[in-house]
Copies of this chain bind each other. A is one copy, B any other.
Amino acid sequence: MDSHPDAQRDTGSRLTPSPGPRTDHRSGTEGSEPDARTRILNAAEELFAHAGYDATATAGIAKAAGVPKGLVFHYFPRKIDLLATLIGERTGIEELREDHADTQPGDPVRMLSRLALRVPLHASPAMRTILFREAGTHRPARERLRHLNAELNRRARFALELALPGSRGDHARLEAAAATFTAVLLYQESLCQLTGQHIDAELVANLIAKALT
């Protein structure tokens, strides 16, 4: 009836990983050419990451994707839908599961390290760049980032709380420690990209754990 495949004009917040159809971004099954829609998203991802959303022309996206200009509109009636779709489909945030079977009470370092190694954000470096850059001006990006921050923070706090049951030190310190670790995880990449400054999350985990013990 209505033809627009995507066009979920609700640019709003669809922040759950959206277990929808196309989880296999970047391709049609294996090595073959991905379909047009995927190619468009791939191109948009790359160009947005490189020059920013506003400085990227849809014509450029079409060209990079190897499709006619009109097809971009066919799938994404408004340019902003491209951004919204990228964020909706390519920045999956892994929620904290309730079964903490792998909990290691007393070993905060290991828990933080594990968090550092597996930041619960399923997104390419390009998507991360986009997420951070556009968060300042685009609602969907901001909400996604907010969500991610909350999740990271919850996990860091959880790790520290479990690890330090005695609540040594007041609550505020634990909060600050969790927030710090979260910030490091969040901005590590961005910082490195922008300033060349590298941070070893492993070591930071160590420091923070030590500070609280």
Q: Which residues on A are within 8 Å of B, measured CB to CB?
A: 1-3, 50-52, 54-55, 59, 63, 66-69, 129, 132-133, 135-137, 142, 145-146, 149-150, 153, 172-173, 175-177, 179-180, 182-184, 186-188, 191, 193-200, 203-204, 206-208, 210-212
Contacts and interface: CB of A to CB of B under 8 A. Distances in A.
A207 B212 contact: yes
Contacts of A173: 203, 206-207
Contacts of A176: 199-200, 203-204, 207
A153 B200 contact: no
B184 A180 contact: yes
Say how many copies of this protein the assembly contains. Answer: 4
Nearest to A146: B195
4 shortest A-B CB distances, which residue pairs? A54-B54, A176-B203, A211-B211, A149-B195
B68 A149 contact: no
A68 B3 contact: yes
A182 B203 contact: no
A210 to B, nearest CB: 5
Contact of A55 (B2, B54, B196): B54
A1 B136 contact: no
Contacts of A186: 187, 191
Nearest to A199: B179
Given A50-B137, A52-B52, A208-B211, 7 more contacts: A1-B67, A129-B136, A136-B193, A177-B207, A179-B199, A183-B191, A183-B197
